[in-house]
Structure 1
Amino acid sequence: DADLGLRLARRGYVTELIPTTTFEEANCRPWPWVRQRSRWLKGYLITWAVHMQRPRALLEDLGLRRFIGVQ
């Protein structure tokens, strides 16, 4: 999701949230919760690393404010 959102933003699209209800329950046990969050953080890190290969191009695509948000 992070990579898709960033790719859309680089091309000038805007994404928004839709108010919705989900029936998925969050993990309440510590180990599965940590593993899930670790996968999310790994995805964010990979997305950041891919897009930061050319930081000047990212800055030009997003503008300063959104570039700082990515950081």
Structure 2
Amino acid sequence: IAEGYERESARERAHFLKIARGSAAEAWTQLLIGMEAGFVNKADALEKAGEARQISKMLFALIRHMEDRAK
């Protein structure tokens, strides 16, 4: 996200936010895999996975805002 904000255009910043959103999805998936494999406590995994999904939603809203500014 920080690297994206150093870019000159809203379109470029949105691109880096999309990468961050993908990373949030990856973290969510890894938490669930860790839970299923018994490496992560179920309550902790579900809490953190919920946080990752909430972050993804916030990033999506910010991406839409950036893309609207780029028009």
Give yes or no for TM over 0.5: no
Query: What TM-score do the two structures reach when normalised by structure 1?
Result: 0.43
More helix by share: 2
Query: What TM-score do the two structures reach when normalised by structure 2?
Result: 0.43
